[in-house]
Amino acid sequence: MGGCIPCDHIAHVSNESSALSAVVLELTREPGKVALVDGPSTSNPVKRQLMPLKRLSITPIKCTIPSGARSKTLEKAYKEAEVEKKWAESSWAKTIACKAAKAKLTDFDRFKVMVARKTRARVVNKAIKAMKK
């Protein structure tokens, strides 16, 4: 990773074994390799642990915490900053959600999606044609 990683950033854990979750970067142990991480979210909590940076994708969302802050303080700051809300609004989170939903589609759902796309396309093309005239 180029540049310094601010210690109070939210990273999002991106490895397969754990759910996508926002996690607060606390400090880097081995600079550039491992971070102490804690995710106080209610839906996908991440236990306070060391995690290799490789597993993490840093987001622009921040929440200010004093260095070395422990879980309770962290949780407070996390809620104050409304991290989860900000995350859900971000387009990044939306695309992740989209992909997840697509992967879960059943054959019937795929059919419905196809029909919806066709209907939309018909409407759009009709409008375009009308505009062209």
Partner 1 sequence: MADVAISFVMRTPRMKGVNVVVLFNPALVAWIRRCFSQGYESQVIHVGVSSAMIDHDKTLEIESTDRLSSRLSPSTCSISVRCDSVVQIGKKAHAPSATVGRSASYHRSGKWAVKAKNGGKFPVHPKQKKEEEKKTACRYYPAEDIPQPLRRRNVNKPAKLKANYAPGTVLILLSGRFRGRRVVFLKQLEKSGLLLVTGPYKFNGVPLRRVNQAYCIGTSASVSLDGVNLDKFNDQYFEKVKASKPKNADGFFATDDAKKELSPERKADQKTVDTPIIAAMKKTEFLKPYVSSRFSLSKGQAPHTMTSPARARVVAC
CB-CB contact of 63 with 78 (8 Å): yes
Q: Is 34 helix (H, G, I), strand (E, B) or coil?
A: strand
Q: How far is the CB of 85 from partner 1 (least distance, A)?
A: 20
Quick one: which of 53, 123, 39 has its CA closest to 83? 39
Read off the amino acid at residue 129: K
Q: How far is the CB of 121 from partner 1 (least distance, A)?
A: 15
Quick one: which of 88, 33, 87 has its CA closest to 60? 87
Q: For residue 116, give both structure tokens.
A: 């919806």
Closest CB to partner 1 among residues 21, 65: 21
Closest CB to partner 1 among residues 50, 105: 105
Closest CB to partner 1 among residues 116, 127: 116
Closest CB to partner 1 among residues 97, 127: 97
Place of tokens 């018909």: 122
Separation CA 22–CA 38 (nearest Å)? 9
Q: How far is the CB of 90 from partner 1 (least distance, A)?
A: 12
Which positions touch partner 1 (CB under 8 A)? 14-16, 19-20, 92, 95-96, 99-100, 103-108, 110-112, 115
Neighbours of 78 (CB within 10 A): 22
Q: How far is the CB of 114 from partner 1 (least distance, A)?
A: 9
Q: How far is the CB of 44 from partner 1 (least distance, A)?
A: 11
Closest CB to partner 1 among residues 36, 92: 92
